């Protein structure tokens, strides 16, 4: 966990395969602790073809059956099937927008959102942006992408900086974020509005 925090969490990601990796892992984490998933990360990497969405999208029922008996991953059939379904939806986004990266970063206008939390209890589990992002993913056929899972994704890939302001990583991530020019954002194919209360 310490290594993940110090080296990865919150660093802006612009690589589609890394986005897909986090989507698979975060969906697997639903209802469990992140530390359990991190311990199984290498097992997931092997089981899900190095997180190649094109390969995962072609997984058959036979492959699903094999994965449900693989102790190196979380053997929840619904989560395994969701990873395959999500790989297909992920490829559809790449086809439509050009990359999943361009698609997801538009939810924060192409730049990391820099929060200023002083205590862990202040860090939210969801945000307006994660609500909208989650709703759009679901409309595109993704599953296990509720607002909490999506917010975890946004934190992991640096779309938001939720390190506490006195954490040494807050300043490092802020410097990285300030060096990033907003991504060339494609026209939004769907209206991104807040879900009805």
pLDDT score of 187: 37
Instruction: Supply 193's token pair.
Output: 């509005």
Would you tell me the crossing angle of helices 16-29 and 147-156 to the nearest 10 degrees?
140
Dihedral, 74, 41, 91, 59 alpha carbons, nearest 10 = -50
Report whether 85 contacts 145 (CB < 8 A): no
Q: What is the pLDDT of residues 60-105, one digit of tens each?
A: 999 999 999 999 999 999 999 999 999 999 999 999 999 999 999 9
Confidence band, pLDDT 50/70/90 cuts, at residue 179: low
Q: What is the pLDDT of residues 107-132, one digit of tens each?
A: 999 989 989 999 999 999 999 999 99
Q: Which residue, among 92, 94, 73, has the nearest Cα to 24 in the 3D structure? A: 73
pLDDT score of 169: 87
Active site residues: 4, 26, 34
Domains and CATH numbers, the chain: 2-178 (1.10.340.30)
Instruction: Determine the average pLDDT of the residues in 20-38.
Output: 93
Question: Is this prediction's pTM over 0.85?
Answer: yes
Other Cβ atoms within 10 Å of 6 Cβ, number: 12
pLDDT score of 174: 84
Instruction: Supply 73's token pair.
Output: 């991953």
């Amino acid at each position: 966990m310490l290594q993940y925090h110090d080296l990865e969490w919150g660093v802006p990601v612009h690589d589609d395969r890394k986005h897909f990796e986090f989507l698979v892992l975060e969906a697997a984490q639903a209802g469990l602790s992140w530390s359990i998933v991190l311990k199984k990360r290498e097992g997931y990497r092997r089981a899900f073809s190095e997180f190649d969405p094109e390969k995962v999208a072609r997984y058959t029922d036979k492959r699903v059956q094999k994965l449900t008996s693989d102790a190196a991953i979380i053997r929840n059939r619904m989560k395994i099937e969701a990873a395959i379904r999500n790989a297909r939806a992920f490829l559809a986004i790449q086809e439509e927008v050009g990359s999943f990266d361009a698609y997801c970063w538009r939810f924060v206008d192409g730049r990391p959102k820099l929060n200023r939390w002083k205590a862990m209890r202040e860090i939210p589990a969801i945000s307006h942006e994660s609500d909208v992002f989650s709703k759009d993913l679901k409309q595109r056929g993704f599953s296990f992408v509720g607002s909490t899972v999506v917010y975890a994704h946004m934190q992991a890939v640096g779309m938001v900086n939720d390190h506490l302001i006195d954490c040494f990583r807050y300043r490092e991530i802020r410097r990285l974020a300030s060096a990033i020019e907003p991504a060339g954002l494609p026209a939004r194919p769907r209206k991104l509005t807040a879900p009805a209360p």
